[in-house]
Structure 1
Amino acid sequence: MGRTLRALIATLLMVEIAAIFFGTSTWAILSELHASQAVILGGEAVTAVIVVILAVIVFRRALAAERRIDEGVSSEA
Structure 2
Amino acid sequence: MEPLIARWDNAVTHRDPTDPTDETLLCCVTADGQPVALFLTDTQVADLRDQLAGDRKPLASHRPSRRRRSVLIRRTTT
User: Normalised by the size of structure 2, how large is the TM-score?
Assistant: 0.25
Query: Which of 1 and 2 has higher RCO (CA within 8 Å, sep 6+)?
Result: 1
* Structure exhibiting the larger radius of gyration computed from Cα positions: 1
Please identify which structure carries the higher strand content: 2
User: Normalised by the size of structure 1, how large is the TM-score?
Assistant: 0.25
